[in-house]
Amino acid sequence: MGLRERKKAKTRAAIQRHALRLFREQGYGATTVDQIAAAAEISPSTFFRYFATKEATALYDPVDPVFIEAAIGQPAELGPIAALRGAVRVVLGQLSEEEMEDVRQRQLLVFREPELRGAIMDQFAEGIDLIAGVAARRTGRAPDDFEARNWAGAVVGVLLASFARAASDPESDYLVALDQALVHLEAGLPL
Amino acid sequence: MGLRERKKAKTRAAIQRHALRLFREQGYGATTVDQIAAAAEISPSTFFRYFATKEATALYDPVDPVFIEAAIGQPAELGPIAALRGAVRVVLGQLSEEEMEDVRQRQLLVFREPELRGAIMDQFAEGIDLIAGVAARRTGRAPDDFEARNWAGAVVGVLLASFARAASDPESDYLVALDQALVHLEAGLPL
DNA sequence: GAGATTATGAGAGCTACTCTCATTTGGTAG
DNA sequence: CTACCAAATGAGAGTAGCTCTCATAATCTC
C-alpha cells in the first residue's frame, strides 16, 4: 500500500471518528458537515469525496462484509439459523473490547436518530438478499426461491426487533437477546 | 365539518394527488416541492404546512389505521396470523378498484425510489409495536413480551420481503404472495 | 357586522449536496 | 533528480429541501 492509499484510509477514519463524536456530543441533526470537515481538518468539498452523504458516516460499517463471509464459511451441515448464530459468535469474538463498543455505539445512534433510522432500510433490503442467498445455497434452492426469501425476511425482521429493543433499553445485553431471538425463530416462532 | 376543515382536506388531497402524479411522470428526485406547489395551486410555504417533508406526500396512507382497527376487531378465537390474514381480506375488500390501484401505485413508488425506501423504516418500527401489541393481547401476554415482539419482527420482515419482491416484479399478484408469506410464517417457516 | 382565529403567501435564511476549475501532492519514468 | 502524469484537495457558485417570520386575507364566533 502506497502512501496515497494509507493517507486516504487515515482521512476516511478520521472523518468518521470526528463525525460520530460530534453526533454523540451534540446530536446528529445539530451537527453540520462543515463542523465535521473542520474537526477532521479537511474542506467540506473533500468530505463529500469520502462519504456520499452525512448519513453514510454513521452507517458505514467495516464489520458487515466480514459477517457475511463468516456465515458462508460455516460448516455445511449446520442449518441456516445455526450458521447465522455461529457467524455472530465468530465475528464478535474477533473484535476487541473497543471495537465492540464502537459497533454498539453506532448501532444505538442509528436506531435512536429518526433521520438515521430511515437509512437502515437499505441495509436491511440488502440483508434480505444476502441472507436469502446464503439460506438458499445451504438448502439447495434457487437464489430467488420464495420460501428462502420469506425466511430471510423473517430473520431480518427479528434482528430488527432486537436492535430496536436494544436501542430503547441500553441496559439489556443485546448479544444474548439476539441469540435468543434466533433460537425462537429456529423453533418456528411459537407464541 | 365546517368549511375550513373541508377545504383543508381538499387541499391536502390535491397536494398528494399532484405530487404522486408528478413523481410517476418525472421521478421522485426530479420533482421539486415548488413544482408540486404550483400544480396544486398553493405557495411553497403552504406545502410544508400540510406535509412536513416531500417524502410524507408519498408515505401518507389513509388505509393504515383502518387496517389496525380491522386486525383488533377479528374474532378472538383466531390465532394472531389468522387475524392478520382476515384483516387484510376485510380491508382490501372494502376498497374500490381505483383505491386499490392507488395503494398499489404508492407502494411500488416507495419501494422503487431509494430515497423513499428509507422512510419505510419508521412505519415498520411502528408496525412492530402495533403488531406485537395485537399479538400480545390475543395470547394474553404483556405488551412488551419478548417473544411477541420477536414474532412481530418476523411478521414485519416477511411483509417487507413480499413488498420488496412485488416492487421488483410488477407482474406478480402481490396479494396472493402476501397471503402465502403469512401461511408460510404460520407454519413456522420450514425450509 | 366586529373581533378573534386561523390559513396563506412572500421572502429571507440555513444546510445538505453537486459541479467546476485551479492548485497541490504523490507516483513514476528517464 | 527532474519532469511529467494522475490523483487529491480547496474554493466557490449553485440547487433544493426545509424553517421561520411577518403581513394579509379568509373563516369562524358572538
CA at B4, C1' at D26: how many angstroms apart? 9
Residues sharing a CB contact under 8 Å with residue B72, sequence separation 6 or more, in sequence order: B134, B137
Question: What was the pLDDT predicted at A150?
Answer: 95
Name the range with the highest mean pLDDT among B24-38, B60-74, B107-121, B123-137: B24-38
B132: nearest CA partner in chain A: A161
User: Tens digits of per-residue pLDDT, B80-106?
Assistant: 899 889 998 898 888 888 888 888 888
Is any Cβ of chain B less than 8 angstroms from the Cβ of A82? no
Compute the distance between CA of residue B72 and CA of residue B163 in angstroms, rounded to an integer: 23
B150 φ, ψ (degrees, to nearest 5): -65, -45
Give A35-63 pLDDT, tens digit per residue: 999 999 999 999 999 999 999 999 887 77
Contact B20, B108 (CB under 8 A): no
A1 touches strand C (CB under 7 A): no
> Rounded distance, CA A86 to CA A100, Å?
17
- pLDDT band for B166, please (50, 70, 90 cuts): confident
Yes or no, beta carbons of B156 and A155 under 8 Å apart: no
Phi-psi region of B6 (alpha: psi -120 to 50; beta: other; left: phi over 0): alpha
Strand D within 7 A of B119 CB? no
In sequence order, what DSSP letters do the residues of A108-163 get, joined into one string?
HHHHH-HHHHHHHHHHHHHHHHHHHHHHHHHTT--TT-HHHHHHHHHHHHHHHHHH
**Quick one: pLDDT at residue A20?**
94
pTM comes to: 0.82
| Residue among A65, A49, A53 at smallest CA distance from A28 | A53
Q: Is A52 left (phi over 0), alpha (psi -120 to 50) or beta?
A: alpha
Calculate the angstrom distance between C1' of C15 and CA of A33: 9
Asked if B154 and A154 touch (Cβ cutoff 8 Å), the reply is yes
For residue B90, the surrounding DSSP H or E stretch is helix B80-94
Which amino acid is present at A142? A
Q: Is the pLDDT of residue B62 over 80?
A: no
CB-count burial class (<10 Å; 0-12, 13-18, 19+) for B31 = buried
From the Cβ of B115, is strand D under 7 Å away?
A: no
Kindly list the residues from chain A whose CB atom is less than 8 angstroms away from the CB atom of residue B58: none
Q: What is the pLDDT of residue A36?
A: 97
Q: Distance (Å) from CA A7 to C1' C22?
A: 23
Q: Residue B21: its pLDDT value, please?
A: 94
**In which region does residue A188 sit, left (phi positive, over 0), alpha (psi from -120 to 50) or beta (all else)?**
left
What gap in Å lies between CA A21 and CA B128, rounded to an integer? 30
Would you state the pLDDT for residue A44?
97
State mean pLDDT over B28-52.
Answer: 96
Per CB-CB distance under 8 Å, the chain B contacts of A149 are 161, 165
Among residues B146, B123, B5, B126, which one has the least CA distance to residue A191? B146
Q: Is the pLDDT of residue B124 over 90?
A: no
**Alpha-carbon gap, residue A40 to A47, rounded angstroms:** 9
Count of residues making up chain A: 191
The helix-helix angle for B146-168 and B80-94 (nearest 10°) equals 40
A124 touches strand C (CB under 7 A): no
Number of other residues whose CB lies within 10 A of the CB of residue B54: 19
Q: Which of B146, B6, B186 is nearest to A173 (CA)?
A: B146
Q: How far is the CA of B182 from the C1' of D16 (A)?
A: 42
**Per-residue model confidence (pLDDT) at position B137:** 87
Say which residue the cell 463498543 belongs to.
A101
Q: How far apart are CA A53 and CA A56, in angstroms?
A: 5
Cβ of residue A6 lies below 7 Å from strand D:
no
State the pLDDT at residue B127. 83
Q: Residue A54 has what DSSP assignment?
A: H
The amino acid present at B69, given as its one-letter code, is E
Measured from the Cβ of residue B94, the count of other Cβ atoms closer than 10 Å reads 11
A8 phi, psi to nearest 5 deg? -65, -45
Q: Rounded to whole angstroms, how far apart are CA atoms A157 and B156?
A: 6
Q: What percent of chain B is helix, strand and coil (3-state, nearest 5)?
A: 75, 0, 25
Q: What residues in chain A have per-residue pLDDT under 70?
A: none
Q: What is the mean pLDDT of chain A?
A: 89
pLDDT at A112: 84
